[in-house]
Chain A
Amino acid sequence: MRNSNLGSIRVTRVGERVLAVAGFPCDFLPPSTDEIQRKACFGATPKPAREVRALPNPVRHAMTPTLQVFLIVSAALFSIGLLAALSRRHAIFILIGIELMLAAANLNFIAFWRFAPQSKQPIGVMIAIFSIAISAAEAAVGLAMVIAVYRHYRTTNVDQLDQLKG
């Protein structure tokens, strides 16, 4: 296995008609394409096998990150975002904190999608894509508001913004 992999590490099965890079048949690969096209992929940085096979060996389990570890990292990211949003006085810091919290949520979605058994639709990925789009819109409007507030009060310190009448 390893010998046949040397130059073409990303091709799982040598001689297969499909470019293993993408894993789906290409309608546009013309029949005249060289044999080597399918066999070797020069330069292609070999990709680690994406799937971790669930071996029965408990030692192996301890080596690969479980869903829990991902969730803990995500929780830490969320807490850092919360810290920024709660402790800082500057409006931009608060926005950064909110963005970090949203990012932590996205990480959770992707992790749950990856660790769940495969479904027809990649739901977790879809939610992450939409949430990224929405958080970009939120950042744009939020920063525009920071600028508008700064024009009025000459400050972006949220503690000093205590007037209801502009």
Chain B
Amino acid sequence: MNSAAFVVIAIFTLAAALAAATLRKLMHAALSFAVAFVGLASFFFLLGAEFVGLALVFIYIGAVAVLIVFTILLTRRDVGKDRGFNWSGIVIALAMFGALTWSILKTQSLAIVAPHIRALTVKQIGAALMTTYVWPLQCVGLLLTAALIGALVLVMEEKR
């Protein structure tokens, strides 16, 4: 694990996330959201979880980001009216960050470097998914089907 790479990815991800949260134009925010997930996937690569990183890129940039931009397109008459910004949110977010950072730095057992472990292959993940985690996998499949049908029903044109 390389500290230079870490710093670059961290700045990249956090800047993109901040842009996604604060930019005025909704479309720019949605695109920064996609960029933030590229940064997050690079974090996963850095941590040796390549499969999860690729899945993250696949799902978030290929599906969720496109869904978000589509929603923006379908509700676009409302875009640009987003004047409201609740300043108390900043205070709460800063307080949250402060509290989390304080508690993380206070915990000495977290100041460890990564141990030497064998690389995780896609094959191992597949074997685990198909043996130990087969029931959660089925449940997620069911959940996704339900979500698919639910989303379709929600956006279907109402019969008059």
Q: Is A100 an interface residue (CB 8 A)?
A: yes
A86 contacts B113, CB within 8 Å? no
B55:A137 contact, CB within 8 angstroms: no
C-alpha spacing A137/B104, complex, angstroms:
31
Once A80-B93, A133-B144 are accepted as A-B contacts, the answer to whether A96 and B30 lie under 8 Å apart by CB is: yes
Candidates B13, B40, B96, B113; contact of A78 at CB < 8 Å: B96
Which of A77, A92, A125 makes the CB contact (< 8 A) with B71?
Answer: A92
Which of B43, B101, B118, B136 lies in contact with A130, CB distance below 8 A? B136
Residues on A with C-beta less than 8 A from B83 are: 89
Q: Which residues of B contact A71 (CB under 8 A)?
A: 100, 104, 110
A50 and B74 CA atoms in complex are apart in Å by: 44
- Count chain A residues whose beta carbon lies closer than 8 angstroms to a beta carbon of B: 84
Task: Identify which of residues 28-75 in chain B touch chain A, using a CB-to-CB cut-off of 8 Å.
Answer: 29-30, 33, 36-37, 40, 43-44, 47-49, 51-52, 55-56, 59-60, 63-64, 67-68, 70-72, 74-75
A83 CB, min distance to chain B CBs, angstroms: 4
| Beta-carbon contact of A64 and B68 below 8 Å | no
Beta-carbon contacts of B79-94 to A below 8 Å, as 1s and 0s?
0011111111110111
**Is A154 a contact of B77 with CB atoms below 8 Å?**
yes
How many A-B residue pairs lie within 8 Å, measured between CB atoms? 284
A14 on interface, CB distance cutoff 8 Å: no
The dominant DSSP class at the B interface is: helix
Could you tell me if A51 and B116 are in contact, using CB atoms closer than 8 angstroms?
Answer: yes
Min C-beta distance of B135 to chain A, whole Å:
11
Residues of B within 8 A of A129 (CB): 51-52, 55, 125, 129
Residue count of chain B within 8 Å CB distance of chain A: 92
Residues on the B chain within 8 Å of A89, using CB: 82-86
Q: Would you give the 0/1 interface string for B92-120, flagging 1 where the beta carbon is closer than 8 Å to chain A?
A: 11101100110011010011111111111
> Which of A1-9, A28-36, A38-46, A140-148 forms part of the interface with chain B?
A140-148
Q: Is the CB of A146 within 8 A of B75?
A: yes
CB distance from B116 to the nearest CB of A (A): 4
Instruction: Determine the chain A residues whose CB is within 8 A of the CB of B143 once the complex forms.
Output: 133-134, 137
Query: Is A145 a contact partner of B56 (Cβ separation < 8 A)?
Result: no
- Report how far A79 CA is from B122 CA in the complex, Å: 32
User: Hey, which bits of chain A sit against chain B, CB under 8 A?
Assistant: 22-24, 48, 50-54, 61, 63-73, 75-90, 92-93, 95-97, 99-100, 103, 106-107, 110-111, 113-118, 121-122, 125-126, 128-130, 132-141, 143-148, 150, 154-157, 159
Chain B residues proximal to chain A, CB less than 8 Å: 1-3, 6, 10, 13-14, 17-18, 20-22, 26, 29-30, 33, 36-37, 40, 43-44, 47-49, 51-52, 55-56, 59-60, 63-64, 67-68, 70-72, 74-75, 77-78, 81-90, 92-94, 96-97, 100-101, 104-105, 107, 110-121, 123-125, 128-129, 132-133, 136, 140, 143-144, 146-148, 150-152, 154-155
11 A-B interface contacts by CB (under 8 A) = A54-B116, A64-B114, A79-B93, A82-B93, A88-B84, A103-B36, A130-B136, A143-B151, A147-B75, A148-B155, A156-B75
